Structure 1
């Protein structure tokens, strides 16, 4: 997803499915947003559930990239 230039922005347990073969699938792309191919991050303030929100978003940063998804996934895994 990140390789295709998309940030999910709402990764949480409710949005992760596990198939019969054990493969994980991310669903609910309602809050997904494109990341500019030139590396310009998203600037929207509509982002994930508070419990899985990256620290930079909690502090009010409006320019962010794919790292917000990585943080959310780390919270889910922990």
Structure 2
């Protein structure tokens, strides 16, 4: 690999913050899937009911927490 090529990639990657919409979309998708998994697991333990409201609540809580941590 050429040193000039490595420097160019590093300079480009370190200078770009990316599109925040991608971060938000990934956060929403991963929070929804993890929230559904957590609520499903709790329903298997009879600790919570597997419902749209519970999954949406878990998703919103996870999304908010990860957003606050990532944007700090």
Same fold (TM over 0.5): no
Normalized against structure 1, the TM-score is what? 0.27
TM-score, length-scaled by structure 2: 0.29
> In proportion to residue count, which structure has more strand?
1
Indicate the structure whose relative CO is greater, using CA pairs within 8 Å and at least 6 residues apart. 1
More helix by share: 2
Is the radius of gyration larger for structure 1 or structure 2?
A: 2
